[in-house]
Structure formats: C-alpha cells, structure tokens
Amino acid sequence: MKTKVAIIGAGISGASIARVLSRYENLEVHLIEKAPDVGWGVSKANTALIHGGYDDDPKKYPMRAKLCIKGNRLWHEWVKELQIPHIWNGALIVATKEEDFDELERLIERGRENGIPEMRIVDRDELFHLEPGLTKEAIGALWVPIVGQIGPIPAVIAIVENAVANGVKTHLETEVRGIKVENGEVKGVETNNGFIEADIVINAAGLYADEVARMAGIDYFEIHPRKGEYFLFDDAIPGPKRVLFPTPTPISKGIVVTTEISGHLMIGPNAQDLPPEEKEDLATTRGGLEQVWEGAKKLWPNLPPKWKVIRTFAGLRPEPTGGDFIIKAEEEVWGFINVAGIRSPGLTSAPAIAYEVAEIIQCDLGVGLVEKTKWNPYRKEITHFFMLSPAQINELVKKNPAYGKVICRCNHVSEGDVLEAIERMKFIGVKMPSVDSVKFRTKATTGTCQGSFCRPRIIQLLAKEYNIPPWKVTLKGSGSEIGIGDVKVLVRGDEA
C-alpha cells in the first residue's frame, strides 16, 4: 500500500519536492496549487540567480548555508536533464572603496567555510577586462565563477512536467482551507475542490506557509513579505556579461545589475519589509523604483534612458521568523512537514531542499523509500523554432506548417510554439486558459511591444484549443477575463 503525500504549493520548492518524491515506488504524490498554473507565486518574480553560497553565515543561518551550495551543484545536473534555459556566467561583487576589501575577504572566508571553490579577488585591470562598462570608481571585485542564472518559471514548468510524467498528480485551482488532524496524525487536506486524503502533508506554501501551518495547529513562526522592485529594458540594450553586486552592507546585498536569461538588461531589487497581511502587494512604487535606479547607477553608470524600459515589476519574498529556512517534521503533528520561509537563496536551494525532505520522510517519519526501476529524469524543452537553424526550421515547417506562422515578432514565437505550449499546459492539468500560461512557456508578449501584436492571436488560439469564446480567455486567471469589449477591439486591430 502506497503512502499518500500532499504537497501544498507548486512553486520552485514544491515542484522540486514533487520531482524528487516521484522517484519512489511506494509514494503517491499529489501537488496542490491554488493558482491556475504552476510557479505563479513567489517563484514568478525574482532575480533568477543560482547563488554562489558565500553570503549565508553557517552559524546564524545553517539551513541556508548548507542547502545553497548543495542546490547550486544539483542545478548543474537538473538544467541538463530538464533542458532548462540557463547560463553559468559568474558574479562580481564590486569594491569602490578600500575598506570594501575587508568585507570581500570576510565573504571569501565564509565561502570557504560553506565549501565553495575558486573564489578570488580580482584587481582593477582584470575587473575592467571582464566588465568594461562598470563604474570608473570600481577598484576591484570578488569573482565567484559558480554563480549562474536560469528562467525561474520555465524551471518550475520543466520540473512539474517531469514530475507528472513520473506519476505525480496535480490539483490546480485548488485552495487549501484546512488540514485534518486526528490523534496527533495528519489525515488529509480540505480544499475548495474537496478532501484530499494524505498520510504526509508538506507545507511549501510560500508566503502563506505560516497560515497553512496554523491550520495544523502549529504556530511558532510568522511569514512577512519583503518586496523587491525591478526594471527590465529592451533586449537591444547592452548589459553586463556577469552578475554584478555592490559590496554588501549589514543591511542589504544592494542593487544587482545583470543581463537576464532572455537577453534583457535588468536592475533590482530593493528591499521593503511589509506587514504580514500584505501578501498580495505587488505594486511598484515611485520611491522604490528611484532607489533601484540610483543604486544601479553606482555600478553601471551608463543606464539607458527610461523610455527604453519595457517593464517594471515587483516580487515578494517570504521572510520567516529568525531568517533561516524552516524545514522539519513537526513532532506534535505526525506527518506534517514544514518547508517554510524559503526566501533567498530559495531558488538556488530548491533541489537540495527536495532531497532534504526525502531524507526527513525516511529518517524522521520512518517511511522506507523504494526507488522505481524506471524513473525518467529527462524532459524535452518546448521547440522554440527561433533557436533552430534555417535548415531545421524548413524541415519542421514541412512537418507542421504552424511553425511557419510567426505570431510574436519581438521574440519570433510561432503558432506551432503556442500550440505546443497549450498541449503542455493540458498535460500538467491547466484547466483555465490564460495568456500568461503561454507567455511563460514561449516568451510571447515579453518583448519590446509587451504583447501589443501577439496577444490577440494567442487569445484566438487559446479559445479554439479550449473550445470557449475568446472573451472567456483570461490574462492571468480568474478575474482577468478578456471581456467582450476588449475582444472587439482586438479583432479590429487584428483585421487592420
């Protein structure tokens, strides 16, 4: 008889846990997510870095220090197995004052304590050879070559696709409303879509992990949101080749300047602590964006004019009581495992967190894990015809003419890419069609025009494939339906 496991939250942590647990024959794994698609919570908006593990003090934050470097190493395997967009470009922590080198030396010592190889100080000449566009006030830097970047939502999507292919059952648009506990043991999860029986409940609910924990009678920590704001520039704007940090202060790591995985210059984030009740506040602010702009200029003085900005956005990080990750089986409720407070470096740590949870299940809960004889670690990325050679495109179009119809001019996304994305959406259980679900799989609507050209065509394809009127297609889930009036405008624009 299989042990039933319910994972609450399909962000990077929950998805990674689902993938690792899908390796075991004697587990029946359910992945529960209140959003219409995976990765739409904390995982959606961040700096998308695979951190180097030099920042977390192992005495103060032992879980973060341990799991960051483990996660970094695991990502080298996962991006290959799952064909996740990535780059290992390294990071420079830039010194602009002589006293900054004292802090950089402390980071080197901490990195060595955490087991990080190949960190070193570079002098001014080497620094400007690496990044000629840096501020002329730079006098040296700490070079951390193991830092990388990935696409965070493409990563979640890839992991969930692989987990589902290995037997995980998804429950999207499913909000947890209670945890059933009898005689000190977990029995299952109450949701808006009914009761899901479970022997083990894993709380990976991001910003809401404290509220889910309280449903099980566990109330020793609180999560408050920390907002970070960003600028994203047109992809024609040159940015640095490496990830650039200022030398950190006791208060902040500072504003990052980087070229994100799709080729866009990105700056941010700042850090603003919000009260616990403001877990949906994703609004950008004039003051916050000005702080980001001025902070970025200290590293990268020749920022483009603001009319080259194609988007500003904000993300929220779940800051826990005490600051460290909370990953443990709760003694007072057998079968309840908290995976809470997964703030930075949570994206980096996610694969290691997943293996940590598997160990907790086996060692702390005493559930022997039996590996499958035919577990498949591989997943193929969506076609992305624009990344193919002309000969490959011609061959593809012969087999499927839809790949010859470009519907996103900015990112060269074809109708075939969108139709393939829709099939993948259905495969993992996406029931509510949304433009954002296509966006995160194809990059359509993320270019210079931000969807002005391609959005109507995506709506038409979603309506056809889901067999619904166009005005019932949503932008990002329930409450964001296109609307009849909008459809009329879109259609007129399309015909024009």
pLDDT score at 27: 98
Domain of 15 in residue numbering reads as: 1-84+146-222+321-381
Would you state the pLDDT for residue 495? 38
- Please check whether residues 128 and 212 belong to one and the same domain: no
Instruction: Give yes or no: residues 235 and 260 share one domain.
Output: yes
The reply to whether 403 and 487 lie within a common domain is yes
Claim to verify: residue 392 and residue 278 sit in the same structural domain:
no
pLDDT of 253 reads: 77
pLDDT along the chain (496 residues), means of 10: 97 98 98 97 94 95 97 98 97 97 96 92 97 97 97 97 98 98 98 98 98 98 97 91 91 87 94 94 96 97 94 96 97 98 97 98 98 97 85 90 91 93 97 93 90 92 94 90 58 41
Amino acid at 82: L
Catalytic residues: 51
Choose the final residue of a domain: 363, 381, 399: 381
Residues 355 and 251 in one domain: no
Whichever domain contains 236, its CATH number is 3.30.9.10
pLDDT at site 265: 97
- Please report, as a single letter, which amino acid is at residue 264: H
Degrees (nearest 5) of the Cα angle 124, 141, 151? Answer: 125
CATH number at 2 reads 3.50.50.60
Whole-number pLDDT of residue 483: 67
Q: Are residues 196 and 217 both part of a single domain?
A: yes
Same structural domain, 255 and 368: no
How many whole angstroms separate alpha carbon 206 and alpha carbon 325? Answer: 11
Distances (CA, A) of 113 to 58, 104, 108, 128, 355: 8, 14, 9, 29, 22
Which domain-ending residue is among 320, 347, 369? 320
> Which sign does the torsion angle of CA 484, 486, 488, 491 carry?
negative
- Same domain, yes or no: 73 and 163: yes
Question: Hunting for tokens 């640095």 — which residue is that?
Answer: 240
On whether both 12 and 126 belong to a single domain, the answer is no
Q: Are residues 304 and 390 in the same domain?
A: no
CA distance 449 to 454: 9
- Residue ending a domain, among 381, 411, 427, is 381
Strand partners, 170: 31
State whether 356 and 470 are in the same domain.
no
Q: How many domains does the chain have?
A: 3
> Are 356 and 454 found together in one domain?
no
